[in-house]
Structure 1
Amino acid sequence: MMAPTYKIAVIQLHPEPMQIESNYCKAARFIKDAAAKGAQLAVLPEYHLTNWIPNHPQASDIFSQWEIYLNKYRALAKEQSICIVPGTIVERHEDPATKEQQLLNATYFIDNKGEILGRYQKKNLWHPERPYLTSSTHEPHEVIETPLGPVGLLICWDLAFPEAFRELILAGAKIIIIPTFWALSDCSPYGLAVNPRSEALFLESTIAARTFENTCAVVFVNAGGRVGSSKLNYAGLSRVAVPFLGALGDETKDSCEEGMSVVDLDMRHVEEAEANYKVRADLAREDWHYVYPRGEKTGRTKL
């Protein structure tokens, strides 16, 4: 069988702080445009509904509305007959054990009938998020069977951890989708002095490396536009990337501004990369030689 080609819309947005309804309406307009262009999947950035200001006086009330907007995306997916990964939605829940309120940063895969096929809660939290968000810690990375084949979901800083990718491709993922909220100012003063585009270099290099080393496609969708009063932008650089070619399309992959790119993802690139590099075949071997030390208490565990 020939490898399928999927039409994917990456939607790079600038989220206005805590303006959840207007941010949703803007995202919905892009999604409708993507569906009109024949896209089978639309992907939005992390925190696209609210931005990330956890100390904002309205944050608690707004984060409590998460299910309303998840259901809006489900209805929109069904109406437009398009699969949607609605960036991330911050969810406010009561911890069943402690009865304390906690915030979860989660993403979903919604199919073109409005059904939720899978959910992922952010595992690797960026340092400023840790006082506020609850990580999924030891929950496994799970592959989702979708109309676009087996998909894995990650979020933002997960990109820096190759272990997350390895777990997903060992379970069969061919496409890994990463909603992101990454700014050029996330770099340290030292790094910015050395290279003001350091974070862009990080993203461009790492995304390309992940496609090759895991023989998979990566759908990376970031925020765009100015970071508050900062002189630096969100890093943007949203892209669909594949082995052999790197980033596909030309509308958002080199941009820090809002916009949408609809690209054709030919899965033959993924299949041919595996035929050439045999990464998955090696990982599946019973005598595979890499193990990860977990300390004296838990011993050594295979990846």
Structure 2
Amino acid sequence: MQQEQNYEKAEKSIRSAAKQGAELAVLPEYHLLSWVPNDEKFKEACSHWETYLNKYRALAKECNINIVPGTIVELHDAGTENERLENVAYFITNTGDIAGKYVKKNLWGSIERLHLTSSSVDPHPVFDTPLGKVGMLICWDLAFPEAFREMIFKGAKLIIIPTFWTYNDCSKAGAAVNPTAEGLFLDSMLTARCFENTCAIVFANVGGPPGEGYAGLSQVCVPYAGALTRLGSHAEGMAVVDLDMQIVEDAEENYQVRADLARTDWYYHYRHNNETETEEAKL
């Protein structure tokens, strides 16, 4: 396990971003340990999650920068019948406070479902942060437009998505049609989600050497422009991006998505209101 070395690499990048005036730093999913649940040392390493969460909190305060430290896999109730691993993303403010946390809901196939505990039917949270109202998703959550709609309905305008997504996630049948299908999936979905929700997205994916399946494509995406910047398919690195949230407001003025969501007579409103849904189910 290279947990400490990976933290030090992340810390170096965050300090560099802060010196360049960045207000927010976002890391990929599984950035501390990678995803190696069958490694005999993995579970024990996950028991130290709070140590690294506190390191990031101290770093955020020292550098005066908001941090979403990718995801941290947490081991809870070790050795009991309630033992579980949760894949968690935190929003840490520039004062070192935790504005909120999100436990991954949509787990990727048997690869994750055999090891992780989902947030299941818990609502998707939206947090008040120094950057406004923020929602967070993790990796495969991107595939579900319902997740975005729920957070947009609650007022989120910025969605942050730490990710561990590779070209190897594609089936043999899909790869036979298009070897880079997963890259097409990511670019298409990120752009579509920005337009259909009049929001901005910060998407941080893992990168690495060519030939090992890393998809990369980390990007900041907005309506009208799509990706403001995008790291290469195999890039492991950092980009500092100037995100003007006025683009989001301009898109909303044009498309009126949030305005429709707020209407009491909107056809789909019941899908985002538990009381309404319950009452209709009784009829």
Q: Look up the match of 1:219.
A: 202
CA–CA distance in 2 between the matches of 1:42 and 1:129? 26
Structure-2 change in CA distance of 1:299 and 1:53 (3 Å): farther
Aligned residue among 237, 247, 266 for 1:288: 266
Residues 248-267 of structure 1 aligned to structure 2 (within 5 Å): 248-249=228-229, 252=231, 254-267=232-245
SS at match of 1:269: helix
Superposed, which structure 2 residues align to 1:118-267 within 5 Å? 118-127=100-109, 128-226=111-209, 231-249=211-229, 252=231, 254-267=232-245
- Between the aligned partners of 1:23 and 1:154, the Cα distance in structure 2 is 22
Equivalent-residue separation in structure 1 for 2:124 and 2:191 (angstroms): 21
Residues 29 and 139 of structure 2 are in contact (CA less than 8 Å); yes or no, is this contact kept in structure 1?
yes
Distance 1:269 1:93 in 2: 41
Report how far residue 101 of structure 1 moved: 1.2
Q: For 1:233, give the aligned amino acid.
A: G
Among 102, 107, 122, the residue aligned to 2:89: 107
Paired residue type of 2:105: K
What SS does the corresponding residue of 1:219 show, helix, strand or coil?
A: strand
Can you give the 5+ residue segments of structure 2 that lack an aligned partner in the other structure? none
Distance 1:298 1:224 in 2: 44
Structure-1-length-normalised TM-score = 0.87
SS in 2 for 1:248: strand
Deviation at 1:255, TM superposition (A): 3.5
Greater relative contact order: 1 or 2 (C-alpha under 8 angstroms, separation 6 or more)? 1
8 Å Cα contact 2:214-2:233 kept in structure 1: no
**Alignment partner, residue 255 of structure 2:** 277
Q: 1:70-109 counterparts in 2 under 5 A?
A: 70-94=53-77, 99-109=81-91
Aligned twin of 1:9: none
TM-score (norm 2): 0.93
| Large movers: runs of 4+ above 4 Å | 297-301
Q: Which amino acid aligns with 1:126?
A: W
**Structure 2 CA distance, aligned partners of 1:40 and 1:135?**
30
RMSD: 2.0
- How big is the shift at 1:299? 7.7
Length, aligned pairs only: 276
Match of 1:53 in 2: 36
Instruction: Choose between structure 1 and 2: higher strand proportion.
Output: 1
Counterpart Cα distance in 2 of 1:162 and 1:146: 23
SS in 2 for 1:134: coil
SS of 2:135 mapped into structure 1: strand
Amino acid in the other structure paired with 2:221: A
Q: CA deviation at 1:259?
A: 0.7
User: Residues of 1 paired with 2:188 and 2:229: CA distance?
Assistant: 17
Matched, 1:40 2:62: no
